[in-house]
Amino acid sequence: MLQWALIFLLVALVAGVFGFGGIASASAGIAQILFFIFLVLFVGAIVMGVMRGRRP
Q: How many domains does the chain have?
A: 1
Q: Is there a contact between 23 and 11 (Cβ–Cβ < 8 Å)?
A: yes
d(CA 17, CA 43): 33
Query: How many Cβ atoms are within 10 Å of 31's Cβ, its own excluded?
Result: 20
* pLDDT tens-place string over residues 1-56: 678 778 877 887 887 777 777 777 787 788 888 888 888 988 988 888 888 876 65
**Domain annotation covers residue 35:** yes
- Residue 56 covered by a domain: no
Does residue 14 belong to any structural domain of this protein?
Answer: yes
- 18 domain residue, yes or no: yes
CB 42 within 8 A of CB 50: no
Q: Which domain holds residue 23?
A: 2-51
pLDDT at residue 1 in the model = 64
Give the pLDDT of residue 55: 60
How many other CB atoms are found less than 10 A from the CB of residue 6?
13
Q: Judge whether 15 lies within some domain.
A: yes
